[in-house]
A and B are shown apart, each in its own frame.
Chain A
Amino acid sequence: MQTGSKAPAPAGRSAPEGRLLWAVLAYACVPLGLVLWANGSGVDRLWDLAMGLGVAAATIVALLPVLSARWWAGAQGGSSLLRLMQRLHRDLAWLCMGFVLLHVLALLWLEPRTLDYLLLSAPGYMLAGLGALLLMLALIVSSSARLKRRWPQGVWRRWHAAMSLGVVALGLWHLLGAGFYFAGLGAQAALLCLLGVPTVIALLWHFQPPTVTGRAPRETARGPRRGGALATVALLLAVLAACVWWAQALTSSPAADVPYPCPAGRCL
């Protein structure tokens, strides 16, 4: 089995993994693109890009539980599929970490004042973001170490799940708390849709695994991978809905209590 990130991939990435990677990237770039291009005026593009990277990282985090080797462990002729998923999961985790680090470094570079947000006196939602980053680091380090040290599977898995849940919760707090782009109800709902649908799918699978996980292939009329296909369709639909909803939320006019411009030019 492949270990750690440093182990060279045997002959480059396999074609299916490449395709999946691109699909995930495209999904993660939906919010990034919207933040960049569908936003109103008076916006700083570089700043938006830095923020969009953070949202893209959150989207990848939401997809990671679905794109886990766990569901494919018992698939027929599963070993290659299993490998593919393991590699995809690992590559995406690194990518996500990279996005988050870029998000932080870009903001520090654009605005040194944001250094205040890494101190203990920062608002809670900023500390939550920092906590999520540290948890992600712990997740990646512990998972790479596990492969080398052969830690007991059960213990590792429970910790992995707990820490992942922590990342999701803290990340959500960070996203909603900062409230730059997810201030309106519509935008928040769209965000929850974008991030929540994969999470709900993962939860559903947790309680009722998709057919591919069965140790022995079950005899059903549905065929082995229907669950996956259904999930993909649901996901795509959700993305579409979220895009439409979000675009509307961003372009709709803001609250009417804006005291400017005043009818007579001045409100004094």
Chain B
Amino acid sequence: MSRRALFVALALCALAVALGALRWRLIERAPMLAIVFDHQDHFAVKCATCHHNFFDRTGNDSCYFCHKQRPELARRVQTDFHTLCRDCHTKIAAQGYASGPTRRCGGCHDWRTPP
């Protein structure tokens, strides 16, 4: 009984590790989603708030290209961009000003358009 339990536990651990590895793979290779973004809406925001690469010399690619190419960045691209874009919108909306999409995914990701 206890040996079987040990075996089952080991098998479960192995499964968890394998699933975790697969998960990172899937995240790194996830297709980019279609993004709605217009500089017109963001003239009140400093360029440096978003274009850190212009200033910290990380490179001059497009944001998404760079962030999706490097595996270590690709793993956190969703968190990084949601924090940057959505949290700014939420903060501004909480002050009662017009802002971009705060909750609804469709405001930024036009899900009907394939990427």
Contacts and interface: CB of A to CB of B under 8 A. Distances in A.
Say what secondary structure dominates the interface of chain B. Answer: helix
A44 B103 contact: yes
Contacts of B106: 111, 113
Interface of B: 19, 22-23, 26-27, 30, 33, 43-47, 49, 78-79, 88-97, 99, 102-106, 109, 111
Given A120-B23, A121-B27, A180-B103, A112 B44 contact: no
Contact of A258 (B79, B95, B109): B95
A258 B87 CA distance: 10
A40 B94 contact: yes
A43 B109 CA distance: 18
A262 interface: yes
Given A40-B94, A121-B23, 10 more contacts: A41-B93, A42-B94, A113-B33, A113-B105, A121-B27, A121-B30, A259-B49, A260-B45, A265-B44, A268-B47
6 contacts: A113-B106, A113-B111, A254-B94, A260-B99, A267-B45, A268-B43
Given A121-B23, A267-B44, A41 B104 contact: no
Interface residues of A, number: 29
Nearest to B89: A42
A121 B90 CA distance: 25
Contact of B93 (A42, A48, A119, A268): A42
A117 B22 CA distance: 16
Given A41-B93, A120-B22, A268-B47, A111 B27 contact: no
A47 B106 CA distance: 12
